[in-house]
Amino acid sequence: MQGGIGSPEQAQAVLALLQAEADMPLAGLYLHGSAVAGGLRPHSDLDLLAVVDHPPDAPARRRLLKALLRISAPYPAPVGGPRCIELMVFDRSALARPSAAMESTFVYGEWLRAGFEAGELPQPFADPEHTLVLAQARRQAVPIAGPDATDLLPEIGAGQVREAMRRLLPGLVEGLDGDARNVLLTLARMWWTAGTGAFLSKDEAAEKAADALGGRTGEVLCAARRAYLGLAGDGELAPPALLREVAGHLSREIEARL
């Protein structure tokens, strides 16, 4: 792993965990997201993507989940300590069928912890977000184990990326009240990708969108960027009505680019 871009202990712990599952041979494990697109920020998750030759059975899912609940820091993770982990596992056979809603075989994230602790078990599901993650990871991910990402991850077409964003937009805007900063930054990233076909880190995309769109939208995006960088608190973003106005503006700008 490249020095300074991740949390080596946690990443290596996940690698050892996956390698121990003999019935689901590990084809590759990759670091992606903030760690390789601008660098980890104070509250960034450690984003990991795995490809396996066979999907895990129910006992393997339980073992993986139990270990991840221990390895991952509960949200909100304290700055300087272990990070929240997001792990997406894909079955190699599913990757051979690129679509606007790619199927994962196992997903772990701290937003799901309450359900997992209540007995829920990660199951395969298709989601447009997976398509965007794979498209970006193929270009940027760093291998922890396995070949280069371009050798294992599918090439997602521009049309499939655009369709994935179309499908994600309504639900993303609806989630504004519970996670305004991340929703606004994700919208900024989608705005950039919709217009250029490229992927940027959240803070870089927010800066470009703020410069291009200006006005109150630019001001709110700058505040969200500062909070993401740890330079301000989420409470300094904007009143709820203004946040909804800005999210609506960004959504319309994205739709126009799609």
pLDDT at position 119 over 80: yes
How many CA atoms does the CB half-sphere of 219 hold within 13 Å? 9
Q: What is the pLDDT of residue 7?
A: 58
pLDDT in tens, 41-58: 777 899 999 999 999 999
Q: Residue 47 belongs to what H/E stretch?
A: strand 46-52
- Provide the token pair at 18: 């996956």
pLDDT at position 230 over 60: yes
pLDDT in tens, 14-42: 999 999 998 999 999 999 988 887 777 77
Q: What is the mean pLDDT of the chain?
A: 93
Q: Residue 30 belongs to what H/E stretch?
A: strand 26-32
The percentage of residues in the chain with a pLDDT greater than 70, rounded to a whole number, is 97
**Residue 108 carries which side chain, given as an amino acid letter?**
Y
Q: What is the pLDDT of residue 2?
A: 36
Helix (H, G, I), strand (E, B) or coil at 36: coil
pLDDT in tens, 183-224: 999 999 999 999 999 999 999 999 999 999 999 999 999 999
**Residue 65 carries which side chain, given as an amino acid letter?**
L
Burial 150-165 (b: 16+ CB within 10 A, else e): eebbbebeeebbbbbb
- Euclidean distance between CA atoms 214 and 193, whole angstroms: 18
pLDDT in tens, 140-159: 999 999 999 999 999 999 99
Instruction: Point out which residues pair with 57 in neighbouring strands.
Output: none
The percentage of residues in the chain with a pLDDT greater than 90, rounded to a whole number, is 86
Residues 6 or more apart whose Cβ sits within 8 Å of residue 221: 184, 185, 188, 206, 207, 209, 210, 213, 246
Q: Residue 244 belongs to what H/E stretch?
A: helix 240-257
Q: What is the pLDDT of residue 98?
A: 94
pLDDT at position 91 over 70: yes
pLDDT at position 255 over 60: yes
Helix (H, G, I), strand (E, B) or coil at 143: strand
Least confident range from 1-15, 29-43, 103-117, 217-231: namely 1-15
Which residue shows structure tokens 């129910």? 58
